[in-house]
Amino acid sequence: MPMNIAYLSQHQAIFLNTWHFFIFAVLAVSLLRAFCRGIVKRLIVSVLNLYFLFYFVGDGYSFAVLLGFVVLTYGIGEIRFRWETKLPGWVPFLLTVFCWGFLILAKNPNLVSPVNVFRLYPIRIVGISYMVFRCMHYMLDAAMIEKRRMGTLLNYVVFFPTLLAGPIERYENFQAYYEQDKLLDPESVLPALHRIANGVIKKFLIADTLASLQLCRPDRSAELLWIGMFLQLAILYWDFSGYCDIVIGLSRLFRMKLCENFNKPWLARNVQEFWERWHISLTSLIRDYCFNPISVMIVRRVKPARQFPLIVLAYFFTMMLIAFWHGTTMGFFWFGLIHGTMLVLSQCTKHYILPRLGASARTKWMDGLLWVTFRRVVTYAWISPTLLLWRWGPETTWEMLQTMIGMK
Amino acid sequence: MKKAIPENLRVFLSLLFLVLKLWIIIHFIYQGQTSFIYQNF
């Protein structure tokens, strides 16, 4: 099954709707509400994280590799903090490439198999993409982090509520909760319970029920495929945001406020806005550590007249990275290619066409309710078929599209 | 000027709404309408 959401969904299901997880969550909340300060709290968080990691996530070997990666991250952080001014400017770039390389090779052991060590020693850790990205965030920001502790970093990387599918919290936020005894959200029991209930309804009642109908399968009729295709994005939203609701609600119960991962993605008027509203913690991290450095380099080194095509290429490249973060199959490659092309078209429209319309025309047409609604519907309709690529790959997706338009 | 909803009433309504959500969840679980949950719980 292609990575990552379908794969993730399988595992989330195993974890979140078992009595074991329920009892674990109740115990965690009770302990962390009772002991919300000092070394006792840190000890409880550490024990809960280790238990969750061992029992729910991976085997001993995978855990050892992960621990090694965290130790390496800490070491790199120390070097960067102490000798930041003496290190060459390309070090952040090298670290970014290293993290991406590790992630892609670990997730796909058959990729460049002669030199890929994970082919012989595969690691099986659910949520590895999230953990590697937390490490990357620490490595790249270490020069600005005053208090760096190995224990805090380890607990940050494997923090159990966000371990499986994010959101990818920033280190400073976790540190504020873990070390500084800062109660980030003290009055939040009732809203938190509402959030968890909303999450359970969205994920287990709506998303799983609709997914169990399996409307979008290659052997379905054209009519069902059309309905299934347009439902896919909604199902994925209810599934993933429902999961995030449960996690955010659970964290609020022990007084930690996690960042939001979705901001009404159905209101997006173009692909760029969609990615600003969808899986925000991931896209903001990739924007900060991949897109922004490339853009700054272009602005500094290239003449203004030649900057736009290169910035557009940077958008495309960033989109390909987002696709590869989700998985390394051909389906994800085509997904990145299509979304990247849509981003390029969106930027070209902004750069070449909109300025020629004039301010009054833009206000009258582009911001009018009818036009905005049309753009939202078109964005949703454009993105929906690309999700078929995640699950079915390019060949089967093409066959399904042929069935839908009556060519088969 | 708009009158604010009294705090106690707000909390009561919120609790009521939460109970309703929990009832929906439990109802679905025991009815087995989401086969997924039904199999796992």
Give pLDDT tens digits for B2-24.
Answer: 677 787 888 888 899 999 998 88
Give the amino acid at A208. Answer: D
**A211/A299 same-domain check:** no
Element (H, E) at A332: helix A330-348
| Contacting residues of B for A190, CB less than 8 Å apart | 11, 14-15, 18
Contact A257, A185 (CB under 8 A): yes
| Containing structural domain, residue A325 | 265-404
Name the CA dihedral angle for A16, A17, A21, A22, rounded to a multiple of 10 degrees. 120
With respect to residue A344, please indicate whether it lies within any of the assigned structural domains: yes
**A82/A216 same-domain check:** no
The mean pLDDT of A366-375, rounded to a whole number, is: 82
Contact A97, A140 (CB under 8 A): no
**A158/A195 same-domain check:** no
| Contacting residues of A for B21, CB less than 8 Å apart | 194, 197-198, 201
pLDDT, position A57: 60
**A226/A126 same-domain check:** no
With respect to residue A297, please indicate whether it lies within any of the assigned structural domains: yes
With respect to residue A124, please indicate whether it lies within any of the assigned structural domains: yes
Element (H, E) at B28: helix B7-31
pLDDT, position A257: 82
Q: Check pLDDT > 80 for residue A162.
A: yes
Quickly count: other Cβ atoms within 10 Å of residue A312's Cβ: 18
Q: Does B19 touch chain A (CB under 8 A)?
A: no
Contact A145, A81 (CB under 8 A): yes
End position of a domain, from candidates A178, A209, A230: A178
- Which residue of chain B comes nearest to A207, CA vs CA? B34
Are A194 and B17 inside 8 Å of each other by CB?
A: yes
Give pLDDT tens digits for A41-82.
Answer: 888 888 888 888 777 666 777 788 888 888 899 988 888 888
Q: Is the whole-model pTM more than 0.80?
A: yes
Are B41 and A201 inside 8 Å of each other by CB?
A: no
Q: Check pLDDT > 60 for residue A9.
A: no
Contacts 24+ apart (CB under 8 A), A289-298: A289/A92, A289/A96, A289/A136, A289/A137, A289/A140, A290/A96, A290/A317, A290/A318, A290/A321, A291/A315, A291/A318, A293/A92, A293/A93, A294/A318
pLDDT, position A377: 93
Q: Check pLDDT > 80 for residue A16.
A: no
Are B24 and A205 inside 8 Å of each other by CB?
A: yes
**A242/A275 same-domain check:** no
Residues of chain A with pLDDT > 70, as a percent, come to 91
**A71/A133 same-domain check:** yes
End position of a domain, from candidates A144, A178, A212: A178
> Where residue A341 falls among pLDDT bands split at 50, 70, 90?
very high
pLDDT, position A388: 86
Give pLDDT tens digits for A170-205.
Answer: 888 888 877 766 665 556 788 889 999 999 899 888
Residues of chain A with pLDDT > 90, as a percent, come to 10
Q: Which residue of A193, A194, A204 is in closest CB contact with B37? A: A204
CA distance A27 to A43: 14
Angle between helices A128-141 and A91-107 (to 10 degrees): 170
- Which residue of chain A comes nearest to B35, CA vs CA? A209
CA distance A134 to A157: 6
End position of a domain, from candidates A158, A178, A198: A178
Complex ipTM tops 0.85: no
Q: Check pLDDT > 60 for residue A14.
A: no
Q: Check pLDDT > 60 for residue A104.
A: yes
Contact A129, A325 (CB under 8 A): yes
- Residue A154: name the closest of A68, A95, A253, A60 by CA: A68
- Residue A41: name the closest of A195, A155, A147 by CA: A155
Give pLDDT tens digits for A268-324.
Answer: 888 888 999 998 988 988 898 888 988 888 888 888 888 888 888 999 999 998 888
| Contacting residues of A for B24, CB less than 8 Å apart | 201, 205
With respect to residue A259, please indicate whether it lies within any of the assigned structural domains: no
**A10/A159 same-domain check:** yes
Q: Residue written as tokens 């600005």? A: A144
pLDDT, position B20: 92
Best-predicted range by mean pLDDT (A190-199, A249-258, A303-312, A327-336): A190-199
Split into its structural domains, chain A has a count of: 3
Are B37 and A17 inside 8 Å of each other by CB?
A: yes
Q: Does B25 touch chain A (CB under 8 A)?
A: yes
Q: What's the mean pLDDT when you consider all of chain A?
A: 82
Picking from A8-22, A213-227, B19-33, which range would have the lowest pLDDT averaged per residue?
A: A8-22
Q: Which residues of A touch B (CB under 8 A)?
A: 13, 17-19, 190, 193-194, 197-198, 200-201, 204-205, 208-209, 212
pLDDT, position A90: 82
**A393/A280 same-domain check:** yes
**A28/A138 same-domain check:** yes
**A294/A389 same-domain check:** yes
- Which residue of chain B comes nearest to A188, CA vs CA? B11
> Where residue A106 falls among pLDDT bands split at 50, 70, 90?
confident
The tokens for B2 are: 């708009």
**A242/A326 same-domain check:** no
